[in-house]
Amino acid sequence: MLDGAIIDPDASTREAFPDLAGTKGQIRRIRIYGDGTIYRNFVWKFQLDFYQMPNLLYKDVYVGMKNVPYLGTIRFGHQFEPFSLEEDTSTKFITMMERALPTLAFYPTRNTGLLVFNTALNKRLFWGAGAFIEEEDETPFEFAGDTGWNASGRITGLPWFGGSDGLLHLGLGYIHKFRSASTDDDWKVQLRPTNSEANLVQPLIDTGKLVSEGADYFSPELALVVGPFSVQGEYFHATVDRGVNDALGFQGFYVNASYFITGESRVYDPSTGSFGTVKPRRDFNFKRGSGWGSWEVALRYSSLDLNDKLIRGGAQRNITLGLNWQLDPNVRIMFNYVHIHVDETTLGTQPLVDGDTRVYQMRFQIAY
């Protein structure tokens, strides 16, 4: 994935973040992986990301067993926790270039642990649950014995599944973070989006690291697909137990709608309760009379509020317009316009009470 962006903040945002404005580019991801099945029942995956060369980043690194009676698949290693529809959908297939603000803030990314998942009711029901040691995404298996850990789960269902006509997806994710009010950073809770829905724009709001006796994250999810039209949304809420003081509450949500001008439809994978790649009706080709791939227009509104009581992490609202050109099942070009509005933040060189930033960005992606 190769990204480029023009970042245009207003005067007050420039004063708070002097290095924000400009024309920038980056290799967003450059990954290679191998996976497979051994003797029908044993699975493995090993994935590396080279975009921070010379450092290698470990992503999915796990082994497991499938076809286990009643349990389905059991995996151990570095992997995603079961929690969110948007997060469980691969970055290769999400509608916008980056995931929504609350997804980026609430989801714990990859951690090392044990995951069990399965389907039921003729794949109309998906469930997953696991226990994970929380760590840095780039350094799997590097953790001490005195480290916070999470118990997480996700369940989804298809009340309506009409095949090519459409579907209705409902789901709920939950994470409990076990903490012990330790002042060690490994035991603290922090809510902060990893980017601002543009990876070339750093996080603009942040609760900081909070001493906690535990935290509970909830995320109900919904998606509706009717032919070429789809709408998807999730609500996120975190309750952080502070012990002596009252608990803190933080929340966010996003709503995303899209429409395929060329008539395609989003592809659903019931084995994971998430979405997959879109295959154009006619792949792009320069030859006369050939196809032009698939064209999708999209709109997203997202909101994240990290203010509660004395914790003033900030609040942010984004509106994103998207245009996706899927030339064939492996090649996609994406265009995003992101309007970022920050109500309150102290992450910059000076406090920012009210600021706006416009981001014009595009991506060239090859995935196979």
Q: Let me know if residue 337 belongs to a domain.
A: no
Res 12: pLDDT = 95
**Which CATH number covers residue 227?**
2.40.160.10
Residue 143, pLDDT above cutoff 60: no
Has residue 104 been placed in a domain?
yes
| Structural contact between residues 57 and 78, judged by C-beta atoms closer than 8 angstroms | no
Domain membership flag for residue 15? no
pLDDT at 184 over 90: no
Q: What is the pLDDT of residue 109?
A: 79
Phi, psi angle pair for 82, to nearest 5°: -75, 115
- Residue 108 pLDDT > 80, yes or no? no
Whether 119 is in a domain gets the answer yes
The confidence band for 289, taking pLDDT boundaries of 50, 70 and 90, is: low
As a whole number, mean pLDDT of residues 98-119 equals 93
* pLDDT (tens digit per residue) in 58-93: 899 999 999 999 999 999 999 999 999 999 999 999
How many other CB atoms are there within 10 angstroms of residue 36's CB atom? Answer: 9
Backbone angles phi, psi at 105, to 5 degrees: -90, -40
Residue 93 backbone phi and psi in degrees, to 5? -120, -5
Residue 153 pLDDT class (50, 70, 90 cuts): very high
Residue 166 lies in a domain: yes
Contact between 101 and 254 under an 8 Å Cβ cutoff? The reply is yes
* Rounded CA Rg of the chain: 21
Is position 238 within any domain? yes
Parent domain of 122: 31-140+149-312
Give per-residue pLDDT as tens, 228-270: 999 999 999 999 998 776 799 999 999 999 999 999 999 999 9
Confidence of residue 183 (pLDDT cuts 50, 70, 90): confident
Which residues does 354 contact at the CB level (< 8 Å), separation at least 6?
12, 342, 343, 344
Cβ atoms of 178 and 151 closer than 8 Å: yes
The answer to whether residue 9 is domain-embedded is no
Cα 18 from Cα 264, distance rounded (Å): 43
Given a cut of 60, whether residue 137 has pLDDT beyond it is no
Answer yes or no: is 271 within a domain: yes
pLDDT of residue 136: 61
What average pLDDT does range 160-175 have in this prediction? 93
Tokens of 284: 């792009």
Q: Domains in the chain: how many in total? A: 1
Q: What pLDDT score was predicted for residue 75? A: 97
